[in-house]
Each structure stands twice: as structure tokens, then as C-alpha cells.
């Protein structure tokens, strides 16, 4: 029986473990932390439970697939429900907009709130769908870096449709062309942040993202986001995957350009294939110090990071829902601060996620668990303590101003996560949320491939490699890796 060793139990590591076990491998996972999930973690304290990382769950079919290939009943492990409301938007001029999942309802409400006709919104979604249909099988579902991908029919179709893809223009320019109301443009610009990029730089092709929300829907997992990691971990255990928590892989052992295993606690552990779910920059710098790193790929600008306040709030705010956005008045400046100045503006866009709106046991009675996040640059040694203190002041003022309640006095519990702690807890270089940014039209081609070009039997999965960050793409990377391994290592 062939053996596979996975470094890290992030969502992609778990998905890869499940798939390889189903392919007949003996699978072991080594994880530094005491629990599985990587960026997907939770904290429970003082009667509050918070999901610490991802809060938006899309494309559950990627999870479903893992149960199907394992011949297990998904509902025995994991339940989720579709949301009718995607997000509540708040603007400084008191405009409020509830984004409904239903396309027609969204368009109708948008026409009542913004300077736009409903048909223009519907047309936007149609174009978004076209982009998605043209590119998924090319960019997302395959290893982009194998020659056969370039020669496939899908590639040709995608290239043929290139003007539809709007690769040569920015997302902001696409949105400005379609809409005239700056508030609506801002709403559609925001999708750039789904992969940690700037709408003023990320290519127009990213306008396919709204299609994912409107067509496939947004969901909430029963028990909160952490139940995604928990259920995949349970599935992997039931299949016979062996986990080693609190065990740090120190090096990947390579001999004659072939991977032989890993070094843990100075002990060599042999394996036929090794898959790193560790951030790709950290994998090269820490685990492969003697290998020449692919400089051009690793020098790509990193995606944004986050500053998150987990607040226990002594009040129920009926204006808020599961997902809420309080927009900055100057979006352009916000992104210039993040990607050029590497600082945080005084008026950042604030995202508030409240899982207790769905799961009342996540907060004491009459209270709510607020996950309050702003996008910030990666950790390059900034004075984070000062940034945190200033941002806390700006954020509480902005929320209080818009909601008309003094939020500061309602905070009875607080925890904070910043780029430094994201980096130290998950080994994500600079604490970036999604690996490299997509602030570049070649970004899709410049992500690291899912395999090593120079070391046989070494593979990579997770948000820092192809096809990208975020739960659905991480799950896809696990699928691509397991298919590559299947093809390279016929049992």
C-alpha cells in the first residue's frame, strides 16, 4: 500500500486526506496546532462562541462531493441551510440595502434604493454567469500548469471569449461602465475582497463572483462555520486517516529530486508522496531550505490580511443580520492604504458577522456574538498595537454613528486577531488570508502549481496555491492534487 503524508490540517489538507484515503493510500496528517481546521477555528468563552476565520459559506457541493466519494451520508456529519438574505449594506448617508439571494428580488430592491434599472442588474448577473461558465473548467477545476490543460477545448473556448472575460480592465472599471450610482459600484467592487484584492486592480473577470452568490447561493452550516472542519475531520477519522496534532513538520526530505518523507521531532517519517498544506512561501523557506524557490511566483504581492474584533455584545440589534457591511466613504483610499501605504485608513469598511442570529446558543440570552472585521495589509512589521487601538476607536464610532447606539458600552467580551497572530497561528506568510493577491491580470497563471516541477512526488494544496484562497477553491485544490497523484502514482 502506498503512503501519503500531509503537512497541515487546513480545509484543503482535510479534503486531500479524505480523497487520498478513498484512492487507497495510507494517509497521515501532521498538524502543529492541537485542533484541525487551520484558519477555520472557533473560540468559546464567557457564554460566547465565535467562528474565528471564514464566515461566508458558498458552494457546499464541494463538501457534498467528499461525502459522496467516501460513500457516506453527508447528513450524518454535516447540515446546512440556504440563506434568503445574502448581506445587509449600510452607507454613511443612511442608505441601507438588503441583498436578497433571489435575483429578481435583488434587482427590484436595488432599483428602489439606487439610481439603476432592475434590468441593468439582471444583465450584470447574466454577464457574470457567462464569465463563470467560460472559465470554471479552465481555471478552477484543473491543474492549470499541465500542458494538456492549455490544449483543451475549454482553453480554446475561453480564449475565444476573451473580451467577454474583461481580463484587460479592472473590476472597478467594469462596474463603472455598467452602473452610474457610486454606491452600487461600491457594492459590486466589494467582490474583489473575496480573494483579498483591490477592485481598482483586480481584473474585470472577478465580476463572475456575484454569480456564485446569486446562482449557487450562500449558506450557513448548522453549529457554525467550524462544523465544516469538524465534520471533514470526523469523516477522515472514520475512513482511517491518522492524525498527529501538536506535531510540527520541520523539513521535507528530498533525495535525488525525489521526496522521501518528512522530519518531525528530528525523526524521519517515510512516505511515497508528501503534500504540503502549509502556505507555499513558508513551505519553501522553512521546509525546503536547500531547494531553489520559484522566485517569480513567490514574489507575487500577497492578498490582504484582517484585523478582527470578537465582541460579546449585551444587546440584540434587530437592524443587523448574519452578514453586514458598513461601507467606507472613500473606497479608493481604503485600498491605497492597504496595498500601497501598507497601513489602515481612518474610515475602513467594516464587516460584521453575527452567527447568533442563526444559532442562538452562540451568545447568552439577550446578547449577540459580533465578529467585526476590517481588511488590512499583510504583516510587514507595522506598529500593530497602535493600528489596533486607533481602528477600534474608528470602528466603534462608525458603527455607533450609523446604528445610533453607543456600541463601546455594550462590549462585554473581547478577543482580537491581527495579521501577526494569523501568521503565527497558521504559518500564513504575512498573515495573508488568501495567499497571493489577484491584483494582476496574470494572477491566475502566477499562482504556484499543485505539484513541484523539480521534486518528484511532492504536491501542494491550500489557499496559497492554484486555484486560490477561500473554502471552495481550497477544496478544489485537494481534488486537483488527488487527481494528479492518481495519475502520477498508479497503484
**384-423 binders of ligand FAD (CB under 6 A):** 422
Q: How many residues bind ligand FAD (CB under 6 A)?
A: 36
Q: Which of 464, 454, 458 is nearest to 481 (CA)?
A: 458
Q: Dig out the grid coordinates for 71 from the structure.
A: 460513500
In a 13 Å sphere around the CA of 145, the CA atoms on its Cβ side amount to 20
The yes or no reply on residue 38 touching ligand FAD (CB under 6 A) is yes
Q: How far apart are CA 287 and CA 293, in angstroms?
A: 11
Binding of ligand FAD by 474 (CB under 6 A): yes
DSSP secondary structure string for all residues of 190-223: GGGGGGT--TTTSBGGGGGHHHIIIII-EEEETT
Q: Which of 284, 384, 434, 459 binds ligand FAD (CB under 6 A)?
A: 434
Query: According to DSSP H, which parts of 24-170 are helical?
Result: 61-69, 103-113, 118-135, 147-150, 153-160, 162-165
Per CB under 6 A, 56 contacts ligand FAD? yes
Beta bridge partners of 44: 49
The piece of 99-107, 184-192, 394-402, 463-471 that touches ligand FAD (CB under 6 A) is 463-471
Minimum CB distance to ligand FAD smaller for 41 or for 113: 41
Hey, which residues does 42 pair with through a beta bridge?
51
Of the ranges 105-113, 122-130, 393-401, 468-476, which one interacts with ligand FAD (CB under 6 A)? 468-476
Q: Is 314 in the site for ligand FAD (CB under 6 A)?
A: no
Using the contact rule CB under 6 A, the part of the chain among 35-43, 88-96, 153-161, 266-274 near ligand FAD is 35-43
Among 27, 433, 443, 455, binds ligand FAD (CB under 6 A): 433
Look at the block and give the residue holding cell 494528479.
Answer: 484
Q: Smaller CB distance to ligand FAD: residue 30 or 335? A: 30
Within a 10 A sphere around the Cβ of 435, how many other Cβ atoms? Answer: 28
Q: 272: which 3 cell numbers?
A: 511515497
Q: Residue 472 CB, nearest distance to ligand FAD (Å)?
A: 6
Q: Is 45 helix (H, G, I), strand (E, B) or coil?
A: strand
31 or 359, CB closer to ligand FAD?
Answer: 31
Residue 138 DSSP label:
I
Q: In this chain, which of 4, 18, 33, 455 binds ligand FAD, going by CB under 6 A?
A: 33
Q: Does 13 bind ligand FAD (CB under 6 A)?
A: yes
Closest CA to 231 of 79, 359, 12, 78: 78
Site string for ligand FAD, 329-368 (x = CB under 6 A): ----------------------------------------
Return the SS3 of 42: strand
Q: Does 249 participate in binding ligand FAD (rule CB under 6 A)?
A: yes
Judged by CB, which is closer to ligand FAD: 179, or 460? 460
Taking the complex as a whole, the smallest distance from the CB of residue 425 to ligand FAD amounts, in Å, to 7
Per CB under 6 A, does 278 bind ligand FAD? yes
Buried b (16+ CB within 10 A) or exposed e, 238-248: ebebebeeebb
Position among 49, 54, 185, 372 found at the interface with ligand FAD (CB under 6 A): 54
Candidates 10, 203, 217, 419: give the one binding ligand FAD (CB under 6 A).
10
Question: CA torsion sign, 196 to 202 to 203 to 204?
Answer: positive
Q: Which is nearer to ligand FAD, 56 or 121 (CB)?
A: 56
Q: Residues 156, 187: contact at Cβ < 8 Å?
A: no
* CA-based nearest residue to 83, from 49, 106, 65: 106
Least distance to ligand FAD, CB of residue 443, Å: 15
> Under a CB-based contact definition with an 8 Å cutoff, are residues 276 and 375 in contact?
no
Nearer to ligand FAD, 174 or 465 (CB): 465
How far is Cα 207 from Cα 269, in angstroms, rounded to an integer?
45
User: Please, are residues 290 and 374 in contact by the beta-carbon 8 Å criterion?
Assistant: no
| 324 is a contact residue toward ligand FAD (CB under 6 A) | no
Is there binding between residue 482 and ligand FAD (CB under 6 A)?
no
Residues forming contacts to ligand FAD in the complex (CB under 6 A) are 7-13, 30-33, 38-40, 53-56, 248-249, 277-278, 306, 308, 422, 426-428, 433-434, 462-463, 469-471, 474
Amino acid at each position: 500500500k502506498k503512503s501519503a503524508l500531509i503537512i497541515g490540517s487546513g480545509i484543503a489538507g482535510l479534503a486531500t486526506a479524505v480523497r487520498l484515503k478513498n484512492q487507497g493510500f495510507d494517509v497521515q496528517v501532521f498538524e502543529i496546532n492541537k485542533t484541525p481546521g487551520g484558519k477555520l477555528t472557533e473560540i468559546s468563552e464567557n457564554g460566547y462562541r465565535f467562528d474565528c476565520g471564514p464566515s461566508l459559506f458558498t458552494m457546499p457541493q464541494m463538501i457534498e462531493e467528499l461525502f459522496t466519494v467516501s460513500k457516506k451520508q453527508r447528513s450524518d456529519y454535516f447540515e446546512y441551510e440556504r440563506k434568503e438574505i445574502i448581506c445587509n449594506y449600510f452607507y454613511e448617508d443612511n442608505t441601507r440595502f438588503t441583498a436578497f439571494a433571489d435575483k429578481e428580488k435583488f434587482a427590484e430592491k436595488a432599483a428602489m434604493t439606487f439610481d439603476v434599472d432592475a434590468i441593468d442588474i439582471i444583465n450584470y448577473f447574466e454577464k457574470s454567469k457567462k464569465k463563470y461558465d467560460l472559465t470554471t473548467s479552465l481555471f478552477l477545476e484543473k491543474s492549470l500548469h499541465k500542458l494538456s490543460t492549455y490544449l483543451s477545448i475549454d482553453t480554446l473556448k475561453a480564449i475565444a471569449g476573451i473580451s467577454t472575460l474583461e481580463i484587460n480592465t479592472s473590476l472597478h472599471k467594469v462596474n463603472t461602465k455598467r452602473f452610474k450610482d457610486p454606491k452600487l459600484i461600491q457594492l459590486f467592487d466589494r467582490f474583489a475582497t473575496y480573494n483579498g484584492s483591490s477592485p481598482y486592480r483586480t481584473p474585470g473577470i472577478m465580476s463572475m463572483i456575484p454569480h456564485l452568490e446569486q446562482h449557487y447561493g450562500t449558506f450557513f452550516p448548522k453549529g457554525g462555520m467550524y462544523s465544516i472542519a469538524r465534520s471533514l475531520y470526523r469523516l477522515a477519522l472514520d475512513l482511517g486517516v491518522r492524525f498527529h496534532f501538536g506535531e510540527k513538520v520541520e523539513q521535507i526530505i528530498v533525495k535525488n529530486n525525489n521526496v522521501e518523507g518528512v522530519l518531525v521531532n528530528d525523526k524521519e517519517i517515510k512516505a511515497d508522496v508528501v503534500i504540503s498544506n502549509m502556505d507555499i512561501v513558508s513551505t519553501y523557506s522553512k521546509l525546503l531550505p536547500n531547494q531553489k524557490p520559484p522566485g517569480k511566483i513567490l514574489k507575487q504581492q500577497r492578498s490582504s490580511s484582517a484585523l478582527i474584533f470578537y465582541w460579546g455584545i449585551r444587546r440584540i440589534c434587530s437592524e443587523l443580520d448574519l452578514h453586514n457591511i458598513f461601507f467606507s466613504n472613500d473606497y479608493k483610499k481604503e485600498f491605497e492604504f492597504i496595498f500601497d501605504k501598507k497601513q489602515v485608513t481612518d474610515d475602513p469598511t467594516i464587516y460584521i458577522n453575527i452567527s447568533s442570529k442563526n444559532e442562538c446558543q452562540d451568545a447568552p440570552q439577550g446578547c449577540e456574538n459580533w465578529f467585526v472585521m476590517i481588511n488590512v495589509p499583510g504583516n510587514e512589521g507595522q506598529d500593530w498595537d497602535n493600528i489596533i487601538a486607533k481602528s477600534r476607536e474608528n470602528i466603534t464610532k462608525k458603527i455607533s454613528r450609523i446604528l445610533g447606539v453607543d456600541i463601546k458600552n455594550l462590549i462585554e467580551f473581547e478577543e482580537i486577531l491581527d495579521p501577526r497572530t494569523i501568521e503565527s497561528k497558521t504559518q500564513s506568510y504575512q498573515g495573508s488570508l488568501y495567499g497571493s493577491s489577484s491584483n494582476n491580470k496574470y494572477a491566475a497563471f502566477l499562482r504556484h502549481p499543485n505539484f513541484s516541477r523539480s521534486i518528484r512526488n511532492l504536491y501542494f494544496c491550500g489557499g496559497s496555491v492554484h486555484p486560490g484562497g477561500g473554502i471552495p477553491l481550497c477544496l478544489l485544490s485537494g481534488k486537483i492534487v488527488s487527481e494528479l497523484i492518481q495519475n502520477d502514482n498508479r497503484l
